[in-house]
Amino acid sequence: MVDANTGSVVGFITQLAGDKVPSNLSGTQMNFIIEQQAQFVEQYTGVAVSLDDIPGKYQGPLTDLTLAQVLRAIDVQEGGINSVSLGELSLSEGNKGSNSDTADMLIGRARKQLLELGRKVRVYKVWGAS
């Protein structure tokens, strides 16, 4: 797999979601979503992921996580989210948005891919402790 960058992830997401991506999610907002998901991947794996040169092994999870967030944002834009929770207060008006199942599947797939990549573990010894 060839290394990608933020622009190629945006292009791939736009190609997959097509005209469903609202105009206010393009550009800066889409880049922000990608940055958030890259931070999640970095925190999970313990490895820095450069958005200018995304290694192939991180492209799948990063793209899946980003697409899941975009689909959820589309649901919000189209009124597909029918419930709101704030503390113990919960208001519900029906089923999940049409993209929620797909977003959940993408997040599950990304988590599985991240599990396969593993985590960078560091072990420290505390001097003077018994």
Inside any domain, residue 28 = yes
**Using one digit for the tens of pLDDT, what is the confidence trace for 10-22?**
888 888 877 778 7
pLDDT of 85 reads 59
pLDDT of 98 reads 66
Inside any domain, residue 27 = yes
pTM of the entire structure? Answer: 0.73
pLDDT of 88 reads 64
Q: How many domains does the chain have?
A: 1
Inside any domain, residue 127 = no
**Using one digit for the tens of pLDDT, what is the confidence trace for 24-49?**
787 888 899 999 999 999 999 888 98
pLDDT mean for each 10 residues of the chain (130 residues): 80 80 81 92 90 89 91 76 58 60 89 86 72
For the chain, the first-to-last Cα distance in angstroms comes to: 48
Enclosing domain of residue 44: 6-117
